[in-house]
Amino acid sequence: MSYLALSKLHKSYGESLAVSNFNLNMEKGEFVSLLGPSGCGKTTTLRMLAGFIEPCQGHISLKGRTIYSKSENINVPPEKRKIGMVFQSYAVWPHMTVFANIAYPLRVQKINHPTIKARVLEALDLVHLAGLENRYPYQLSGGQQQRVAIARALVMEPEILLLDEPLSNLDAQLRQHMLHQIDEIRRHTGVTILYVTHDQKEAMALSDRIVLMNQGLTIQSGRPQELYERPATAFAANFLGRANLLPGWPRAIPRQGILTSQGFFLPVQSITGLEAGNENTVTFVVRPEDIRLEHPDGSSPSTPGCVVYRRYYASFIEYGVEINNTLLRVEAENGDRLEVGQSIGLIIRRAFVLPQEEDDIVQNRHFVQSPAGSAPAQHH
């Protein structure tokens, strides 16, 4: 049995669907991220797990104990779930010192003072705030307040730590720093973490696994690399990074290339995910870093294109290259500089075929997930 099991969780507000048929199993010590755009149901899912929102249906167990079950009528209150949660807005108490903020969950449990003191100091150390225990939140930076909130969640030694977009209010440099600290906290404590973010870079850098959500639905879950290299839908391909999507026909494809719907042929060194016998239009995904640009010299089998824009990103340069009225995004190493208007040859190193269209997943889910007696929610 899994350490944490969320099964068939569902939450709607009136007609509007917030989270539909959410399933997740986690092992002890795992770091899983819920990733998706704003409004896709991430916070609702975390709050159902923490006990602040009651699901419409479903089942939750943690460490073998059922903490929520619609059918068995079990709903353990938040303070008895042994879950630590850090909210997006920090929610540290302004009238309490750092020490008092962090000590609060232990005071509630009526733990003796020497133990409280020792554990608060230990938590402060862990988040690198030692020495600041007598300050008030207004005397701290945003990043420090965030770390107080994390220390407060950790001090009761939760069975799982929930972090809701903990870095989204911080500036870019601090975000990077806090990302390292979260990783460090995890390594030092071994705590199981369920992390929420809309930022795919954060999710990929930190997680063992990612659950990608959209409009209350789970689109795909897996290891970061799996999601990046084998996205299940166009949404997944675009959300996990940049993607060129090229519709085309498998039946007309010689072994090493794509015949696009626009009627031009692109040689590709490797294509994965192509099903034999499929004669419908499929979508090929080409990552921008999988396209190589070469000066056409007539000897290589590259496709001629024209540079239409150039963007400098320090570690790479993004070029927009047009071929037959189709614009491809290319990330080139920061070497040879190409000019807008220049002709250039394209070589695609690899492409993969999307296994499913977005609509299939959404319709399929609605069919499966609509709770008895209620109409499926509309997403259009």
Ligand X SMILES: Nc1ncnc2c1ncn2[C@@H]1O[C@H](COP(=O)(O)OP(=O)(O)O)[C@@H](O)[C@H]1O
Residues that bind Mg ion (CB under 5 A): 43
Q: Return the number of the residue (45 or 146) whose C-beta is nearest ligand X.
A: 45
Q: Does 13 bind ligand X (CB under 6 A)?
A: yes
Which one of ligand X, Mg ion, none is in contact with 40 (Cβ closer than 5 to 8 A by kind)? Answer: ligand X
Q: At what angle do helices 172-189 and 113-126 cross, to 10 degrees?
A: 130
Among 40, 116, 210, 377, binds ligand X (CB under 6 A): 40
For ligand X, which stretch binds (CB under 6 A), given 13-21, 108-116, 181-189, 259-267?
13-21
Q: Pairing mode, if any, of strands 303-312 and 291-294?
A: unpaired
Q: Does 93 bind ligand X (CB under 6 A)?
A: no
Q: Does 41 bind ligand X (CB under 6 A)?
A: yes
Q: What is the 3-state secondary structure (H, E, C) of 8-43?
A: EEEEEECCEEEEEEEEEEECCCCEEEEECCCCCCHH
Amino acid at 214: N
With CB under 6 A as the rule, give the number of residues binding ligand X: 11
Q: Return the number of the residue (41 or 158) whose C-beta is nearest ligand X.
A: 41
Q: Return the number of the residue (36 or 305) whose C-beta is nearest ligand X.
A: 36
Tokens 């031009």 map to which residue?
264
d(CA 24, CA 5): 6
Q: Return the number of the residue (43 or 200) whose C-beta is nearest Mg ion.
A: 43
Which one of Mg ion, ligand X, none is in contact with 41 (Cβ closer than 5 to 8 A by kind)? Answer: ligand X
Q: Does 38 bind ligand X (CB under 6 A)?
A: yes
For ligand X, which stretch binds (CB under 6 A), given 12-20, 281-289, 339-347, 364-372?
12-20
Minimum CB–partner distance for residue 50 and ligand X (Å): 13
Q: What's 380's DSSP letter?
A: -
**Residues contacting residue 319 through CB under 8 Å, at least 6 positions apart:** 293, 307, 309, 310, 311, 329, 330, 332, 338, 344
Alpha-carbon dihedral angle through residues 35, 38, 40, 45, given to the nearest 10 degrees? 70
Among 20, 21, 33, 43, binds ligand X (CB under 6 A): 43
Q: Does 10 bind ligand X (CB under 6 A)?
A: no
d(CA 162, CA 104): 18
Contact positions toward ligand X, by CB under 6 A?
Answer: 13, 16, 18, 36, 38-44
